[in-house]
Every structure is written in C-alpha cells, then in structure tokens.
A and B are shown apart, each in its own frame.
Chain A
Amino acid sequence: MRLGEIAYARSGDKGSAATLAIFARRPEDFGRLERVVTAERVQRFFEPMGCGPVRRFSLPKLQALNFILPEVLAGGGSRSLRVDAQGKAIGQVALEMEVGDL
C-alpha cells in the first residue's frame, strides 16, 4: 500500500532542510501511521537526495506527524540548483512511500 492511500501531506522549506507533515485521513489510522512512518524510515526513503538525520514530532490531536529533513534540498531556496529547490514536491514524494499492509 502506498502512504497516500491513508494519509495526506504538506511540505515546504527551511533553508536547506525540508519540512514535511503527514496527516492520517481517518483518526483511527493515526496509531498505525505513528508505528510505521518513523524518522528512520523517512530518512532511508529520502537518503538518495542527501537527507541527513530526520527529526519527527508527533501531534496526536491533529493526527499528524511533523518531520524535519536536513540537507534534503541541497542548499535550499536561493542556492539549490534543483528544480524543486523549495521542497514543494516533498509531500507528494512522501505519499508514494510503500508502507506494506500496515
């Protein structure tokens, strides 16, 4: 199953880091998200882009997980040469993550 089937997302930039929020579509799925979408897993997924150690923050009242992905934008807003220098697409990329049967 791809993450986008049970979650929605929003991403943006903080310098060379991207911020990424993942939300459970149904409140009852939040526990499963919290178990499966760990900081380590997100880091492994984005590692080919140069992602450093990911921090994760859990917000149960919003059924949300918030992540900081350091260095994933290769210099960020004004310095990155990549087409997505500002991390606008990171949320859509994350929703493609394969999360098994949960």
Chain B
Amino acid sequence: MTLKIGNAQGFWGDDPDAPARLVSQQSDLDYVTMDYLAEVSLSIMAAQRERKPELGYPRDCVEAIRSLAPFWRTGRRIRVVTNGGGLNPRGCAEACAAALRKDGCKGLRIGIVSGDDILERMRRLIREGSSVDLMRNLETGEGIDRISERLVTANAYLGVDGIVRALESGADIVLTGRVTDSSLVCAPCVHHYGWKTTEYDKLAGGLVAAHVIECGIQVSGGISTDWLEVPSPADMGFPFVEVEQDGTFVVTKPDGTGGCVTEQTVKEQLLYEIGDPERYLTPEATVSFRDIEVRQEGTDRVRLWGFRGSAPPSTYKVSASYRDGFWAQGTLTIFGRDALEKAERCGRIVQERVRRAGYDLEGFEVESLGSGACAPGVLPATELLETVLRIAVRDSREEAVERFCRELTPLVTSGPQGLTGFSAGRPRPSPVFGYWPCLIPRDMVSVDVEILEV
C-alpha cells in the first residue's frame, strides 16, 4: 500500500472548502497538508498579534480544521499536517481544540511544533556580535546591523524532525510555525516508512513530492502555460501524491474533478521557484533534480523517479522580516486617443503635486497597464485606445505616502476627458515589510513538541 498525502491549501487565502472536499472525494487519503506561509506572511501575523496577542496565526486554518470534524466524528482516520500555527502554534491549537470540542470531536490529539521563532535569539546574537556573518542577507550580502533595530520576525525553516516526533506521539493534527514546505509531506513519509536520516535518495523523493503539491491546485493545471485547454476549471481537483517505500511517487487528483495532471503541469510545478536545481537545500538533504524523470502513466496520473540526495547543510535558513516604511497604490482608467501619453502626463502631475507639498517620494512608479507594464521596455509598447494608469509609491515617512493618496483622486476633475474607474476611492498607506533571508547554525535552534488533547 502506498502512502497517500494530499494538499488542500496552497497559500493563505486559498479555497476554504478545499480540505473537506478533498477528504470526501478521496476516501483512502492518509494525510491532508495545508500550506499557509509565504515569505512575508509571518510579518502580517506579527502586525495582527500586536493588536491581539492571542492571535498571530491564520484564522482560516482553524476553520479548515473544523471543516473536517464530521469525518473524525464518524471514525475516519485522516491526519492533518499544516504550518497554519503561524507565529503562535499554541494559540492556534487551542482555538482548534475549542472548535472541535464544540463540534463533538473527542479524543483527537493535536501536536504542536515550535522552536522556529528565533527573533529573541537573533537579537541576542547581534548584540553579542556572534554569527553575524551567517546573518548577512543571502541575496544582497548586506550586514544585518542595517536593519537589526527594525526586525519584526525571524523564523528558522525547520525540517521534518518536530512533525515526525508529533506523529510518533499519536498526533492526528500537527500544527507548526515556519517549517520548509517540503517537510509537510516528507515528515509523514519518514514516520510511515521509517526512513533513516542518511537515506538521502528516499528523503529526496519525499521532499520533491512535497514541492510538487505544495502550491495545491497549481499542479492540477492552475497557472499552466496551456491554461485555456485545462478542462472544467471551476472544479479543479486538489492534488495528492502516492508515495512508495523507496521514495518514488505518483502525483494525481481525485477522479471526476476538473483540471488535469499531465507531464506538462507536473514539470512546470517541479521547477517552480527553484534556483539551482542541483542544490535544492533542505534540513534533511541537498537534493539534485538532474536525474528526475516524469512520465504519464494514466489519465491524470504522473510518475516521478530518479531523486538524488546528499548530506544537508549545517545551517537552517532563516526568514526574517523588518519594517521598511510604507506604500500605497491606486489605479484609474483612461479611455481615448493618446491614452498612453495622457497616463504619463497624469503621473507627472501627481508626482509634482506631492513634491510641492514637501515630499520627494523615495519610490514612485507609473505604469500604463495594457501597454506591457509587466515587462517594461522589453517589448515595444503599441498605441492604445484604453489603459489603466497605475501609480505605486513607497516612502519611509507614512505622511508622505498619505499625501500621495490625497493627490491621486483630484485627477477625476483635473485629468483628461475619458478618465474613469475611480470607484475604489482614495488609496490607503500600508506598512512595507522587507524580507531578510539568512542562515543560523542548526545547534542554535531547538525544536519543541507538545501534545494537546481535544
């Protein structure tokens, strides 16, 4: 028997009905995983937690887990692994327990995995001046001292370890904070098959299986190049993997659902947001994609094999965020001859008026949507009869951004004839959270697991 692990939530904001639907569509599914944490999601949760200390996790996660109560109540053995604990896995677990009790579920065990939140530890290390070289920005090489006063979150990407321990303790639901997306699927494999920490090729299979379904419906035809040919797109099935003891797997979706799982959709997702495919780094293994092969073996069934793993790095990757000023964006539609020239002129007016008010904005971007704004300068802009003027600004001073917000809407009466589409009203400033990827030695992070009985 293979181990069947699905994904029913590819990001915070995904289809709220997907978990219960997937579990009912696929009656032999062993695990459901749900991914809520993109790179800067935790900084949004930090802002939430400032207003309400008992929060700091996506409420959606509690609702998703609650939606599975009818299955547990009727004796179905389905386990959940999710990073929906966010910044506060304990708080999320308590909310889930309360919701499940209310819905008549008893005897369930919730595993809580924490230890990823290293903000205080990092602050101390910075004060002491130790490991600061590892804390350089992985992308830009800048030193952390530049932003250390403005840090909002710092979380290590934990691996499978804590989740496996929670499953060994009989957890039906595992809630984590920041873990690698790949550990959500790999951990159940390690638990089920007993893979050793040095069985790198098998681990690589579990990690790649996770990567292929971590964005949910994207592997079922979502955002694929040939999207117009994807069948029944309003009813796309969330994916699951059937993982074998040796780490090879099939990716598929429930029968009768829309979308499609083909060599093409799987290959697109396999390389999605992968940097160096020879060195996909996780706490379990360094994975090479070089020998991976992909073959369609049935309708909506694609088999993958050829995973190569080697020893993992001695560090954890850290995702930190810091306050980086404010931003706002607004759009207006312009219809008529010379629409592009009119849009540019509107942009200059707004910039000039904000400047006269005393603010030289640090970031000011004017785009004419419809003219190739997704690739400025790459393709020749053609004259348009209609465009959407989009202006986005950023500044360290909130009042400067606020001023821009006030200067955009007056174009409704001062701008060109044919300017319309202002129903969204005046834009509002939002905080910007900068992303700071860096490293920390593994021995500075300790993973904690506790069990909460429902």
Task: Please give the residue numbers on chain A whose beta carbons come within 8 Å of chain B beta carbons, in ascending order.
Answer: 4, 8-10, 12-17, 19, 21, 23, 45-46, 48-49, 55, 57, 59, 61-62, 64, 66, 68, 76-79, 81-84, 88-93, 95-96
| With A8-B264, A81-B392: A14-B273 Cβ-Cβ less than 8 Å | yes
Q: Say whether B324 contacts A79, CB under 8 Å.
A: yes
Shortest A87–chain B CB gap in Å is: 9
Q: How far is the CA of A15 from the CA of B319 in the complex (A)?
A: 11
Find out whether the CB atom of A66 lies under 8 angstroms from the CB atom of B274. yes
Other contacts beyond A19-B273, A59-B289: 20, CB < 8 A: A4-B225, A8-B224, A8-B225, A10-B223, A10-B269, A12-B272, A19-B274, A48-B376, A57-B278, A61-B293, A62-B289, A64-B271, A76-B435, A78-B435, A81-B329, A83-B367, A83-B373, A83-B374, A84-B374, A95-B225
Q: Kindly state the separation between the CA atoms of A91 and B334 in the bound complex, as whole angstroms.
A: 28
Contact: A15 with B376, CB < 8 Å? no
Point out the residues of chain B lying under 8 angstroms from A23, CB to CB.
Answer: 264, 267-268
Determine if B225 and A9 form an interchain contact, defined as CB atoms under 8 angstroms apart.
yes
Is the CB–CB distance between A89 and B375 below 8 Å? Answer: yes
Closest A-B pairs by Cβ, 7 of them: A48-B377, A8-B225, A21-B271, A89-B374, A81-B365, A12-B273, A81-B392
Pairs across A and B, CB under 8 Å, 13 listed: A8-B224, A8-B268, A15-B435, A48-B376, A49-B377, A61-B293, A62-B294, A66-B271, A77-B39, A81-B365, A81-B393, A90-B375, A96-B379
Minimum CB–CB distance from B350 to chain A (whole Å) comes to 14
Alpha-carbon gap, A47 to B370, bound state (A): 21
Known: A81-B365, A82-B365. A93 touches B264 (CB 8 A): no
With a CB–CB cut-off of 8 A, which chain B residues contact A66?
271, 274, 277
Complex Cα distance, B116 from A75, in Å, reads: 26
Q: How far is the CA of A64 from the CA of B39 in the complex (A)?
A: 26
- Once bound together, how far apart are the Cα atoms of A4 and B393, in whole Å? 34
B401 CB to closest chain A CB, in angstroms?
A: 11
The answer to whether B277 and A59 have CB atoms under 8 Å apart is yes
Most buried by B among A10, A19, A45, A55: A10
- Taking the nearest CB of chain B, how far is it from the CB of A39, in angstroms? 13
Closest to B291 in A: A61
**Which residues from chain A contact B393 at a C-beta distance below 8 Å?**
81
Distance (Å) between the CB of B164 and the closest chain A CB?
28
> Could you say which of A14, A48, A79, A90 contacts B394, with CB atoms under 8 Å apart?
A79
* A49-B375, A68-B275, A93-B379 known; A62 vs B270 contact (CB < 8 Å): yes
Contact of A81 among B274, B275, B289, B327 (CB under 8 A): B327
Closest B residue to A68 by CB, please name it: B275
Given contacts A61-B293, A78-B433, contact A93 B267 (CB under 8 A): no
B226 within 8 A of A: yes
User: By the criterion CB–CB under 8 Å, are B294 and A91 in contact?
Assistant: no
- From known contacts A61-B291, A78-B324, infer whether A14 and B375 are also in contact, taking CB-CB under 8 Å: no
A46 pairs with B327, CB closer than 8 A: no
CB distance from A3 to the nearest CB of B (A): 11
Known: A12-B273, A61-B306. A79 touches B379 (CB 8 A): no
Give the interface of B toward A (CB within 8 A). Answer: 38-40, 139-140, 223-226, 264, 267-278, 289-294, 306, 321, 324, 327, 329, 363-365, 367, 369, 373-379, 390, 392-394, 432-435, 437
Given contacts A61-B293, A81-B365, A81-B393, contact A21 B375 (CB under 8 A): no
- The verdict on A78 contacting B432 (CB below 8 Å), with A10-B271, A16-B139, A21-B268 known, is yes
Enumerate chain A residues within 8 angstroms of B278, measured Cβ to Cβ.
Answer: 57
Taking the closest CB of chain B, its distance from the CB of A61, in whole angstroms, is: 5
Does B277 lie within 8 Å of A48, measured CB to CB?
no
Residues of the A chain whose Cβ atoms lie less than 8 Å from the Cβ of B291: 61
Most buried by B among A23, A46, A76, A92: A23
List, in ascending order, chain B residues with CB within 8 A of A77's CB: 38-40, 435
Measured between beta carbons, the chain B residues less than 8 angstroms from A89 are 374-375
Contacts of B225 in A (CB 8 A): 4, 8-10, 91-92, 95
Q: Complex: how many Å from CA A46 to CA B378?
A: 6
Name which residue of chain A comes closest to B269, CB basis: A10
Find the A residue at minimum CB distance from B137.
A15
- B42 CB to closest chain A CB (Å) equals 12
Residues of B with C-beta under 8 A to A55: 276
Contacts of A19 in B (CB 8 A): 271-275
Give the CA-CA distance A88 to B38 in the complex, in Å: 15
A57 near B277 (CB under 8 angstroms)? yes
Give the complex CA separation of A44 and B369 in angstroms.
23
How far is the CB of B248 from the nearest CB of chain A, in Å? Answer: 15
